[in-house]
Chains A and B, each alone.
Chain A
């Protein structure tokens, strides 16, 4: 079949091309389209039958007419992978974007990626120190986890992602991370910002970038994260690297998915997104983890911007049901001038329990984290009450908690973009800040930790 060119296009609609009667074409097969002006476009088979084939075109369907030639390549989409990928910048369809040579393939990997057998996974338990107090103390990150950043437009999620990429390290060993960065529909400005930062810190030499910008074809975004994850899987499970995958912005990815669904006249789910979006997202997010018999790991940091700051929007909602927690960025804190504006209250790391404690971080970590969280939550709640009844109506305990909530934001959350706090420093800071509250109100702290770590007892 390969090489035979068909001129049987009947319809072109949005990103889709419909063809009549061809030889049997495989589901998922890649397709090359030759336009009358000689331009070559690429696509993939979405639906195939004896009479009709539907192809999604990655570069958009502009200038495609019924005389365009269609060639089926006889294979599903594959990415050439080798360790040469490291240090390279590729476009959203996996072609070099940095002017360098083509990747010499050690193997060609199917980009859909097979599911990991749940029985063959290893439980993640290596604590990753990000150097950001709010994350390390309250939503500890584990190697092999998928922890998205739920943000919104106008918030500094990119700075946070970069700071994590710069500072992430294991406390237990000096193994380094390789960053696989996947841009979907972000602006050139944002991309340059990422690239400049990675270049400046030398991280670019240890990174692979897949870049689909806002003015690149939208449909291509469907495959960009799959390419990135295929590269990540190769590096992690064939070459023993620890890979940190950052992808931004998942919202653009989901919108591209919706665009294809609409063109296929599929029955839409909530807000017009396709009903299979959960499964589709799961096929990306679930490509994180560790497996038996392999040294490497994949840790994922998807970034998504919540339309209208709405956490119940289908994109954050479905993501939250798949990922192992979330880090929520708060507009309120950002406007109060606090960086990083992480709202720890709705943030969560589901795997935190498996990575903290005496062996990995410190024995008092759990206790301290619970107490910091509880005191801050109560303090925040009291702010609402004070607005109604005034501060004078508060009892002594409540006054201390209210004050603590301010200190928490100012001293604990706030840190500079280049401040890299060790977990020990973070926990010591917690104790210093909590000492402003009378010990008898710190009910979640074990007495033995108070005896050992409370500043009053350490002098």
Chain B
């Protein structure tokens, strides 16, 4: 058989070719227009191909060419600030080639192959280098040094090494065995890039969102799932994380979501400033946008494209955060392809291998020792869109089995306009134990204890609320009424956070701690004032408390909060004398 075959059958995005030499996951060119596709099943002399573009108008008998390669991404300087579709074609280039509507059959380089970068060698002639080792640096953006690494599996004794200005396809290093390397390399998306070993996650990914950092922290190298019904704020949460988390690099995958929402991100990100470096956010971001109406097979590929790019930067020793919004759309793409293959379905029509694929994807997260001996991490945050908000469905369940952090979005909270609408009663994080030491060393010795106190209060509140529903809050003893008031303060002052507010959107971890302490200080002083005879109403209504609560919307709150707490405590103490 040859590398060329003929189309036998077309059914939506699935095309069958005959008389073609093919192996699983080979990339093929389908039809006279050369549409890109990937072999996903072999039956005798038939190869089943998923096609990444619309197949209308294609006929049986047209040619199919096997490229013999697997689906790969191009890696090298120029990736950052790019906006790709699911198979790494830059959307701005596609706009130039085909106008505002995406037609088909257009190829585009992942980044500018002609652009000249200044290469600074890090090895000398005669050095022995192995796969993953850094041979030189390129300043890719103001904040990110791009490290040029030997392709894993390659290497040798350096025969010559260049220095100066080169584009990504020019040779910058040659080896004694005659092989040479360029700044650009290819890597198959479905193969995880290798590393030396995985480390336990002990450093938190600080997000600036109080409910996440304080109650349900995520570790660098960890994985989190955010399930929630529509309108509960998944996308806003994901975007806040992309904007404010202290990862050095962000890969944002818009997988099967809304076009207008993607446009908002594309419009907004170039103007946003990274609070951790003071530089434009775009300089640390790679975006992948495959909206819901773009070809479904490319949607399936988009998460792999994204995580491979993330792994490449991890291998340079960076902390990378990857957001996938939404993994349910990815799973549905798998379901659609699977159903076209007439595979025996598992639950709800999803293929039986769904949970394996989900697990494999999240397992590519982690904090690792890279082949170069450095520390790097990928933190994966996947949004899940369960039908009807019911998380007993296969995608949510497959995700929850593997991730260690669950941020459960709640339609009820969203309706009350409590944002972020993360339910504090059913969300969880399994990381506190491994992260507590970091919080003790870097924020405050009693940080974990404060966390336990806050979540304990919220738990008590939910029990008391059940009684209040029946008899009204006035029927409770005053100490319990105070607990309710404290819990309300936790919810309205601490947990609620406006993702669009210029000050409140990002809350420094030290400020979070001070705010939590302020709540407990209020509780403490209120208790002792009431024990000394003060009235609950007077204690709760001291004006300085609402000043304290409103103050979080002002700039410089971290400097004024201590003074405000002091005033509040004085006023509460004074309520005793008033009686």
Residue B510 lies at the interface, judged by CB distance under 8 Å to chain A: no
Given contacts A49-B10, A353-B500, A373-B417, contact A117 B387 (CB under 8 A): no
Residue A418 lies at the interface, judged by CB distance under 8 Å to chain B: no
B 2-27 binary contact with A (CB < 8 Å = 1; else 0): 00000011111000100000000000
Across the interface, B57 reaches (CB within 8 A) one of A26, A145, A268, namely: A26
Cα A276 to Cα B329 with chains together (Å): 10
A312 lies within 8 A of B260 (CB):
no
Determine how close the nearest CB of chain A comes to the CB of B161; give it in whole angstroms. Answer: 38
**Among the listed stretches B172-180, B332-340, B363-371, B524-532, which one makes contact with chain A, having 4 or more residues with CB under 8 Å of it?**
B332-340
Contacts of B456 in A (CB 8 A): none
Cα A289 to Cα B55 with chains together (Å): 25
Given contacts A293-B100, A321-B385, A322-B258, contact A348 B390 (CB under 8 A): no
B59 lies within 8 A of A25 (CB):
yes
Residue A14 lies at the interface, judged by CB distance under 8 Å to chain B: no
Contacts of B61 in A (CB 8 A): 24, 50
Cα A75 to Cα B262 with chains together (Å): 33
B56 lies within 8 A of A116 (CB):
no
Contacts of A348 in B (CB 8 A): 231
Residue A351 lies at the interface, judged by CB distance under 8 Å to chain B: yes
Contacts of B12 in A (CB 8 A): 27, 276
Cα A115 to Cα B86 with chains together (Å): 14
Contacts of B296 in A (CB 8 A): 276, 279
Given contacts A123-B264, A317-B387, A374-B417, contact A286 B292 (CB under 8 A): yes
Within 8 A of B (CB), among A388-405: 388-389, 393, 395
- Closest chain A residue to B388, Cβ basis: A312
Within 8 A of B (CB), among A142-186: 144-145
Residue A295 lies at the interface, judged by CB distance under 8 Å to chain B: no
Contacts of B100 in A (CB 8 A): 116-117, 120-121, 237, 291-294
Q: Main SS of chain A's interface residues?
A: mixed
Cα A70 to Cα B349 with chains together (Å): 34
Within 8 A of A (CB), among B233-291: 254, 256, 258-264, 266-267, 289, 291
Contacts of B291 in A (CB 8 A): 115, 118, 282, 286
Cα A320 to Cα B231 with chains together (Å): 8
Residue B103 lies at the interface, judged by CB distance under 8 Å to chain A: yes
Cα A144 to Cα B416 with chains together (Å): 27
Cα A24 to Cα B58 with chains together (Å): 9
Residue A59 lies at the interface, judged by CB distance under 8 Å to chain B: no
A350 lies within 8 A of B261 (CB):
yes
Residue A112 lies at the interface, judged by CB distance under 8 Å to chain B: yes
- Closest chain A residue to B92, Cβ basis: A119
Determine how close the nearest CB of chain B comes to the CB of A434; give it in whole angstroms. Answer: 16
Across the interface, A115 reaches (CB within 8 A) one of B8, B92, B293, namely: B293
Contacts of B471 in A (CB 8 A): 389
Most chain A Cβ neighbours within 10 Å, of B102, B260, B500: B260
B260 lies within 8 A of A351 (CB):
yes
Cα A47 to Cα B417 with chains together (Å): 48
Number of CB contacts from chain A to chain B under 8 A: 202
Cα A141 to Cα B156 with chains together (Å): 63
Given contacts A27-B57, A123-B263, A270-B348, contact A115 B101 (CB under 8 A): yes
Residue A340 lies at the interface, judged by CB distance under 8 Å to chain B: no
Across the interface, A279 reaches (CB within 8 A) one of B9, B101, B336, B417, namely: B336
Contacts of B95 in A (CB 8 A): 117, 119-120, 292
Residue B405 lies at the interface, judged by CB distance under 8 Å to chain A: no
B292 lies within 8 A of A279 (CB):
yes
Within 8 A of B (CB), among A322-344: 322, 324-326
Residue A48 lies at the interface, judged by CB distance under 8 Å to chain B: yes
Contacts of B474 in A (CB 8 A): 393, 395
Residue A455 lies at the interface, judged by CB distance under 8 Å to chain B: no
Cα A377 to Cα B471 with chains together (Å): 20
B 57-73 binary contact with A (CB < 8 Å = 1; else 0): 11111100000000000
- Closest chain A residue to B468, Cβ basis: A385
Contacts of B261 in A (CB 8 A): 324, 350
Contacts of A144 in B (CB 8 A): 260
Cα A66 to Cα B60 with chains together (Å): 24
- Closest chain B residue to A53, Cβ basis: B60
Contacts of A49 in B (CB 8 A): 8-10, 16, 60
Determine how close the nearest CB of chain A comes to the CB of B532; give it in whole angstroms. Answer: 26
Contacts of A294 in B (CB 8 A): 100
Cα A75 to Cα B260 with chains together (Å): 32
Q: What bracket does the count of chain A residues touching chain B fall in?
A: 35 or more
Residue B324 lies at the interface, judged by CB distance under 8 Å to chain A: no
Cα A274 to Cα B338 with chains together (Å): 12
B387 lies within 8 A of A314 (CB):
yes
Cα A353 to Cα B263 with chains together (Å): 15
A 126-144 binary contact with B (CB < 8 Å = 1; else 0): 0000000000000000001
Across the interface, A286 reaches (CB within 8 A) one of B99, B259, B470, namely: B259
Contacts of B256 in A (CB 8 A): 278-279, 282
Residue A202 lies at the interface, judged by CB distance under 8 Å to chain B: no
Contacts of B94 in A (CB 8 A): 117, 119
Residue B153 lies at the interface, judged by CB distance under 8 Å to chain A: no
Determine how close the nearest CB of chain B comes to the CB of A63; give it in whole angstroms. Answer: 27
Determine how close the nearest CB of chain B comes to the CB of A273; give it in whole angstroms. Answer: 10
Contacts of B258 in A (CB 8 A): 286, 322, 324
B83 lies within 8 A of A145 (CB):
no
Given contacts A120-B100, A275-B335, A321-B230, contact A48 B59 (CB under 8 A): yes
Cα A24 to Cα B6 with chains together (Å): 11
Cα A318 to Cα B258 with chains together (Å): 12
Contacts of B348 in A (CB 8 A): 269-270
Given contacts A118-B254, A283-B293, contact A50 B57 (CB under 8 A): no
Contacts of A353 in B (CB 8 A): 500
**Can you report 11 A-B residue pairs in the complex whose CB atoms are below 8 A from each other?**
A24-B61, A27-B10, A27-B58, A46-B11, A47-B10, A48-B60, A118-B263, A312-B387, A317-B388, A320-B230, A324-B260
Known: A28-B57, A120-B95. 18 other contacts (CB 8 A): A24-B62, A26-B57, A26-B58, A46-B11, A50-B61, A114-B101, A116-B100, A119-B266, A121-B100, A121-B260, A266-B339, A267-B342, A276-B339, A312-B387, A318-B387, A320-B229, A320-B230, A370-B417
Among all A-B residue pairs, the 4 with the closest Cβ atoms = A312-B388, A49-B9, A282-B292, A119-B91
Binding site for A on B (CB under 8 A): 8-12, 16, 54-62, 83, 91-92, 94-95, 98-103, 229-231, 254, 256, 258-264, 266-267, 289, 291-296, 329, 332-333, 335-336, 339, 342, 345, 348-349, 385, 387-390, 415-417, 469-472, 474, 500
